[in-house]
Amino acid sequence: MNTLIFLMNPDGYPALTEDFVNGYRIYAIQDILFDKFLDRNNIVIVSTAINTDRYKEMKVLMESAGYNWLELDSIINISQLKHELQKQYNFKLDSEDTNIIYGGTNTSYEVMYSTDLSLGQFAKRNFNCQLYLPLCADITQPGICQIDKEMKAYSQVYDFINQNKLFDKVDILTRFADLKLPWKEKNNA
């Protein structure tokens, strides 16, 4: 099985989120990608444009560790993404054989439904998707603190999944151990 890790607006808006959230999101991606038992040949990272030094350095580290990372300078559609992944990395993106792990900024809008590459669009096309909350942050919700904003955002995420009847295609996760990731065979680890 292939795994696509999609980071929608990974930089986010650091000045509008608490330092803990910014650091925790970096920790969450490191936790996944620095695991030495993952089969890196079956994982591709896709992100929208990266503008901060933090994520630029993360991309360099991931590529030097053997991961393929496709940075999109503009929003394309799923068909174009399939073509790019096949052409650049010989990575087959299809709903039968690809799990998509999602994270990003503005969970209740950008991540869920704002573009053709949002989690909701993949789920509607029959892809199995996992919304990994440690990779998410939401600044569009009003709130006194980041926790307040996140609770409101996740309520809207639930409403979107419920209204679109996507519960069989979308898992909302907080634990690394629950992610569907490709693992190396024990003799290759």
- Which pair of tokens denotes residue 17? 């989120």
Q: Is the pLDDT of residue 90 over 70?
A: yes
Give me 15's structure tokens.
């000045």
pLDDT for the residue numbered 149: 87
Q: Is the pLDDT of residue 186 over 80?
A: no
pLDDT at 113: 86
Residue 4: Cβ within 10 Å count: 22
pLDDT confidence band for 100 (50 / 70 / 90): very high
Q: Count the domains in the chain.
A: 1
DSSP state of 63: H
- Whether residue 96 has pLDDT greater than 80: yes
Q: What pLDDT does 92 receive?
A: 96
In this predicted structure, what is the pLDDT of residue 189?
57
Residue 188, pLDDT > 70, answer no
Q: Using alpha carbons, list the distances in angstroms from residue 73 to 85, 92, 131, 151.
A: 15, 21, 23, 30
**pLDDT single digits (tens) 110-154:** 889 888 999 999 999 999 999 999 999 988 888 888 888 889 999
Which domain, by its residues, includes 66? 2-188
Query: Quick one: how far is CA 33 from the chain centroid?
Result: 12
Task: Give 51-88 pLDDT, tens digit per residue.
Answer: 889 889 999 999 999 999 999 977 789 999 999 999 99
Per the prediction, the chain carries an average pLDDT of 91
pLDDT of residue 19: 85
CATH number of 33's domain: 3.40.50
Q: 13: pLDDT confidence band, cut at 50, 70 and 90?
A: confident
pLDDT of 132-144, one tens digit each?
999 999 888 888 8
- Token digits for 55? 């994520």
Q: Which residue has the higher pLDDT, 188 or 158?
A: 158
